[in-house]
Amino acid sequence: MADGGWIKLYRKLIDDPVWVLSTPEQKTILITLLLMANHRENKWEWQGQKFNVQPGQMITSTESIRQKSGKGISIKNVRTSLKRFENLGFLANESAKTGRLITIANWGKYQCSDEEVAKQPADDRQRGGKGVAPNKNDKNDKKEIPSSNTLESRFDELWKLYPKKQGKQSALKAYKKAVKDGTTDDQIKSGIQSYIQYLKKEQTDPQYIKQGSSFFNQHSWEDDWSGGGIIPEPQEPKPVDKAAAALREIQDEMAKYPDSPREEAAELAAKTITDNGHPTTAAKILAFLDKATKEGIKK
């Protein structure tokens, strides 16, 4: 969104917890967010309506932030950073189908003229606060976390919408944590609906649809499903048909003696075939073959 110009970085930031306790990846993302923020009012679409983006705000996506942050930054890095910066009051973060609205707190205080900045208390510069957007983690604005039963009931309604209902307990655990961290049911519902529309548009093979547990654990409702590829999830290996495998082994071994009578071929095969690690006999082999024929077992 930024269209040139420059931003200010105050030396006070180097002693602030939002910087001191951040990982190198989080510091990269922090600077990237400052560079991406609008420095003047701009028009954009937000939640299906025209929206005036104010200085210090941006409408973006986790993928866009990842790309602009450069090599070595992952989607997980971005999500972790946003949540951490939000908890520290450095920014406010709101997600919807049309993007993610991020508001840098106190933008006007530390990006205005030098004369104006000099009038501000030092501790208010380049750190979290209530100047632009309220911090939902502020002590005066705490939200009560619903009971476990209430959360499970709400989760069940979302689970009904999801197309691949696998890993429910893991998904429930991830849902509860997301709600505790401030995610709303409407955000998740909107993400599920966007994902379903994407699957229909791409005519995605069912085997490549994310399992429910993956969708919730990866916070996939935050992703932009307006286009792009989808990474196939690994499929569970199919169970081995032991009877068919045993039949195949016996028939392959007996086929080595095409000129021998059936009983003799079984006798010869018994010398190399084992039964659960133990030697077997021609009688057992013949009995198994008769059973396989009767029950229609195929190799």
pLDDT tens, 46-97?
566 677 778 888 888 889 999 999 999 999 999 999 999 888 888 898 876 6
Strand segments, DSSP code E, in the chain are: 42-46, 49-53, 57-60, 91-96, 99-104, 274-275, 278-279
pLDDT at residue 102 greater than cutoff 70: yes
pLDDT tens, 258-297?
888 888 888 888 888 876 666 788 888 888 888 888 888 7
The token pair at 21 is 């306790």
pLDDT tens, 130-174?
444 444 444 444 456 788 888 999 999 999 999 999 999 999 999
- pLDDT confidence of residue 213: 92
Beta carbons within 8 Å of 58's beta carbon, 6+ residues apart: 1, 33, 36, 37, 38, 101, 102
pLDDT-derived band at 28, boundaries 50, 70, 90: very high
- pLDDT confidence of residue 174: 92
- pLDDT confidence of residue 47: 63
- pLDDT confidence of residue 122: 45
pTM of the model: 0.40
Hey, is 230 helix, strand or coil?
coil
- pLDDT confidence of residue 167: 92
- pLDDT confidence of residue 239: 53
Q: How far is CA 93 from the centre of its chain?
A: 18
Helix axes 262-269, 282-295, angle to 10 degrees: 110
Q: What average pLDDT is seen over the chain?
A: 79
The token pair at 225 is 């499903």
